[in-house]
Structure formats: C-alpha cells, structure tokens
Amino acid sequence: MEAAIVFLPLAGAILAGLFGRPLGAKGAQWLTSGLMVIAAVLSWIVLFDITSEGKSYTVTLFTWVASGSFAFDWALRMDSLTAVMLIVVTTVSAVVHIYSIGYMSHDPHQPRFFAYLSFFTFSMLMLVTADNLVQMFFGWEGVGVASYLLIGFWFQKPSANAAAIKAFLVNRVGDIGFALGIFAIYVMTDSVNLTVIFNTIPDLVGTKLVFMGVEFDAITVTALLLFLGAMGKSAQLGLHTWLPDAMEGPTPVSALIHAATMVTAGVFMVCRLSPLFEYSEFALAVVTIVGASTAFFAATVGLTQNDIKRVIAYSTCSQLGYMFFAAGVSAYPAAMFHLTTHAFFKALLFLGAGSVIHAMSDEQDMRRMGGLAKLIPVTYAFMWIGSLALMGIGIPGTPVGFAGFFSKDIVLEAAYAAETMVGGYAFWLGLIAAFMTAFYSGRLLFMTFHGTSRADEKTLAHVHESPRVMIWPLYILVLGSLFAGVAFYGGFVGDGMANFWGSSILILPENQALANATLVPIWVKAAPLAVGLSGLALSYWMYVKRPDAPAALVVRIRELYLFSLNKWYFDELFNFLFVRPSFAIGRFFWKRGDQKTIDGLGPDGVAQTTLRASKGVSLLQTGYVYHYAFAMLIGVVVFVTWYVATS
C-alpha cells in the first residue's frame, strides 16, 4: 500500500508523458487523475492506521548504494509525520488534477501538463517518505525540476520562461546549503540514514568543525546549512523572490506549489530533522527570526498587489513564515498543524482565483474586476470561506472557527509562551501580520466581487460560473477549510499530541513553548481575532463604503505605498548586487576571454595566420617553367654565396 501511494503518480506521469498521443487528452486526464485519487484514498487509510496505533516502520524497496560505510536503501519511512504529509500532498494533488481537466480543456498540450503534475506529486512523495538524506535530496531536486517545467509550461511567453529560470536559479542557492548540510552530517555521523543520524546527534553535542582555522559548533553549522535549503524551497526572506513570479504558470500549478508541494518541503524538512535542530539553540533562534520577518514582510507586500494571484502568493509566503517561527520555538506540531490546514484553504483560494480568471477571460488584475458576486455566486462563496480561514476567524475557547483559526492561533500562542526574546519578536510581528492578512484578504474580496464592475463590456458579457468538473472538487477543500482545524486540533496540538506524533518529532524537555501555549493570558488568545476583525472592517470601509479612500491614502503615503508595491525593492537590489555583476563578468569573459584571447590565439590567431601564409605561398605556384627555373637559379646563387662566405 505504501509503495502504491508513492509510485501510482509516477506511473501516471510515465504513461501520460510517453503515451500521451495514443491516450489523447481525455485518456491522459482521467488516467492521471484516477491514479491520484487512488493514492489519496490509500493515504488516508495509512494516516488512520499509523496515528491510531502510534506506528513507525520502514518499507525497504531495494538497496540503492553500497560503497563501504556509505550505504543506504531506497526505503519509505512511515510514521505520523510522513502520514500527515501524504494526505496533504495526495489530497490537494487529486483535487488539482480533476480541476485541471476543466481549466486546461483548451490547451493543446494536456498530456504533457498532466504528466508534469503527476511527476511533481511523485517527487514530493519521495521527499516526505525518505528514509535517508540522499533520497530526500532526490525528491528535493525532483520538485525543483517539476516546478521549472510547470512554471514555464506556457513556454511561448517570455515572462513564463524567465519566471521558471528565476525559480530554478534561486532554489539552487538554497540547495547548495542543503547539500553542504548533508555532507556535514555524513562527516559527523558516517551515515545518511535518518535513524542512525538521530541516534548519534546527542553524542555530538559540543563537537566542533574547523573551517579555515576557525572552530564552529558542528550541529549549529549543519542546522543552518540545512535551513538555508529550506529558505530556498519555502521562499523565506532573501530567497523568496521566485515565488510571486511563479504565478506565470497555470493556476492549478500555483495551487499545487503553494498548498502541497515545493514550498511545504522546507517546513517538513525542519520538522523531520527536529532531533538535529533541537540541539542548537542558536539555529532555532535564526529559524524563528527569519520566519517572523518573512511573515511580516510578505504581509506588507500583499497589501498593495493588484494581481489576484500575487496577493494569494504573498499570503503563502507570509503563512510559511508562521510555520517556520513555530518550528523555531520548538512547536513543530503547531507548524505541521498550520501546514495542514493551510493546504486546504490555500488550494481553495488559488483554485477559486482560477475560477475568477476563467470567468473573466484570463483577466487577473483586480482593478478590472468588481461586481462579480451575483454572476459567479459559488466561486464567491468559496473565496469567502478560503479567505476567512486564511484570516483565522473563530471564537477563542470554543470549537467554532475556520481551520486557520485553530492552527494560526496556536502558533502565536506558542511563540508568546516561549518567553524568549525571539519568541516575543515572532509573536508581535505575527500579530501585526495577522492584521494585514485580514486587510488584504478583504481587499481582494471587495475589489473582485463587490461594488460596480470595472471590466469592459465584452469581458463582462462572457462572465460565467466554472464547469462542474472545476467546481465539484473544491467542495473537498471547502470541508477542509471549515472543519480541518477542529477535527485535527486534539491530535496535532491538543491532549492527544504525544500519541499522535509518537517518535516522529523530538521536543527536548526544556523546550515547552507548545505545552505552555494553553496557559497564556486571555488577551493573547483574543488578540488574533481582534486584529483580524479590525483588518477586515478597515478593508470594508476603504473599498466598499469609501472607495475613494485608497487613492487619497496613496497620495499621503506615496513613498510607503511604492515601497510595498515594489516588494521592498528586493528584485532591484538583487539585480544590482548579483545580476548586473554576473552579466558584467560574463560579458568580460566573452569579449576579452573568448573573442580576444581564445579566438584571437585560436581561430582568429594561428588559424588565420596559417590561412594567410598558405594563400601567400600559393602565389608562388604560377605554373610557368621560367618562374621555377628563376627560383632554382636564385637558390643556387644563395647556396654558393653562403658556401663561399663560410669557407
């Protein structure tokens, strides 16, 4: 069963990719979607089987590498952490596959698209089931390749190609850190097997690594290198710039990347390696600071974006920050809880946005929308549900609330309960980000669905609800957005937490932020709801009651507005620091190195000289006998003269 979950998507990818022509569009659609649905059903069976009995086991498929001490199997590590990721990945992927049947119905390359989707899912499943770091790296790079192929799927668009290359290159920066972290772990433990590593790490506390004559704490350096990889995959501050541009791919791709694959890989990796991170207080502090800073930064940028998909993309970046700072205060179960609920409502938001774009004839600018509530009421309702879940609306102390309410609040409460400087930093930035999240979510809803339509008459005349094949799968995400929080709370972060997670996550006794989260003051529990409702109310006032207010405010705070609109100028900064110098270096080696040196000495040097010399010598070959006789005479004269002179 476990192997089937992982390899059914691969089978779909191979069949649709290699036999797409005989299968046809319909055959590729339903084959890949059917296999994905089977994998999703099996994943839920595995989840209930593992978590009900606290199981943890390994399914060995075959020996992959055996070279001295460097030996490992291709094996599937099955525990609660894996099971949770299995249901997230396969459920969202199954919904995306079925939704794509309608969304991509007019695309001429549907078999290729569905093959890429299935390969994306397979790579993520290989990552989350990995029993060793090499296998994890295989899946890690697999999702990178799949994201490149899917972001640039519409290859005829230069912007899509540029976005795919950007995602690939930015992730390579993080992946270098991840690879170096794996090397460091192997040097320290003489193994890449996770069980061996986890058993060895406690004995390595205090071990030093020497680099260029300077000693560093081995566990801290290793954890930071691994976290650099997580920053790239999960788009944390500094390595986040690829994520908004990834919107160039088809909307189902955006949903899959943001909800279940790729960006969740970094969060999962940190939680999986909790037995390593727990022994480095400094590394955990870095994770907390980066996560909190990302949550705040991305929320500020989401306030001013006008592309409906980019607003949701920056909300993903912000919510990933919440997950990381939860992990940073050792609340790994809270991080995984928020990852799970986020998968449902973020997929719902992206696919709902896709329904809006489909209705608006591919228009994505919210400034050209408005008044759509009555025209596409089902999509409107879905977007409200997803947005309220993202805002975290619910009643503290009761089982009443959307999924995001339960998971986001426990993250903030754990940060406060950590009672550390970095925990306080994360709590307050997370609280401010919650206010901004509610504001930009309300702004999206009111600009898109309320007020007077700003679309042209031709576009407005064609507005229609999406077909059933796009709408019906979303009900699964609606159920998750409504009930996943209250359903999973007890097992993920409540009284049943210890039995649910078993040995899949390690939290040292001195790190009790999550255990103390229920003891925080009442104002800490009420604050997220207060700021969420305040942000929603402010957006309602500005975009419904006083639609002239945003323009007036922009005039008064123009510099701040431009700072947010231009994403804190990170792209411009990186362009100045890295892109331009890289082009300058490349141009130097091209002009001076290649053309003047290599070509100058090679094709344009020796070869040209030889060619010119041969042409000059060929002039002596006239074909006239008296010319040759004269040359012979000159030769005799020269030879006699030389002989006489030297005698």
Whether 625 shows a pLDDT value over 90: the answer reads no
Per residue in 399-418, pLDDT tens?
A: 999 999 999 999 999 999 99
pTM of the predicted model as reported, rounded to 2 decimal places: 0.91
Residue 610: the pLDDT is 77
Residue 66: the pLDDT is 86
Whether 337 shows a pLDDT value over 90: the answer reads yes
Among left, alpha and beta (phi > 0; psi -120 to 50; other), residue 96 is alpha
Residue 437: the pLDDT is 97
| CB-CB contact of 42 with 1 (8 Å) | yes
- Structure-block tokens of residue 174: 């993080």
Among left, alpha and beta (phi > 0; psi -120 to 50; other), residue 502 is left
- Structure-block tokens of residue 367: 């400034």
Residue 361: the pLDDT is 87
- Structure-block tokens of residue 560: 């701040």
Per residue in 498-511, pLDDT tens?
A: 889 988 999 999 99
3-class SS letters over 35-82: HHHHHHHHHHHHHHHHHHHCCCEEEEEEEEEEECCEEEEEEEEECHHH
Residue 628: the pLDDT is 75
More confident residue, 554 or 212: 554
Per residue in 10-39, pLDDT tens?
A: 999 999 999 988 988 899 999 999 999 999
Confidence band for 215, pLDDT divided at 50, 70 and 90: confident
Confidence band for 52, pLDDT divided at 50, 70 and 90: confident
Return the residue matching tokens 């031709």: 458
Per residue in 537-572, pLDDT tens?
A: 999 999 999 999 999 999 999 999 999 999 999 999
Confidence band for 345, pLDDT divided at 50, 70 and 90: very high
Residue 624: the pLDDT is 77
- Structure-block tokens of residue 203: 């004995």
- How many percent of the chain have pLDDT more than 90? 73
Instruction: Give dist(CA 356, CA 364) in Å, integer.
Output: 8
Residue 68: the pLDDT is 78
Return the residue matching tokens 């010598």: 617
Per residue in 459-471, pLDDT tens?
A: 888 888 989 999 9
Question: Average model confidence (pLDDT) for the chain?
Answer: 91
Per residue in 181-191, pLDDT tens?
A: 999 999 999 99
What is the secondary structure of 591-606 as a DSSP string? IIIIIIIIHHHIIIII
Residue 210: the pLDDT is 79
- Structure-block tokens of residue 484: 């996943």
Residue 397: the pLDDT is 86
Whether 432 shows a pLDDT value over 90: the answer reads yes
Residue 457: the pLDDT is 84
Residue 442: the pLDDT is 96
Residue 631: the pLDDT is 80
Residue 202: the pLDDT is 93
Where would I find the H helices in 273-331? 274-277, 281-302, 308-328
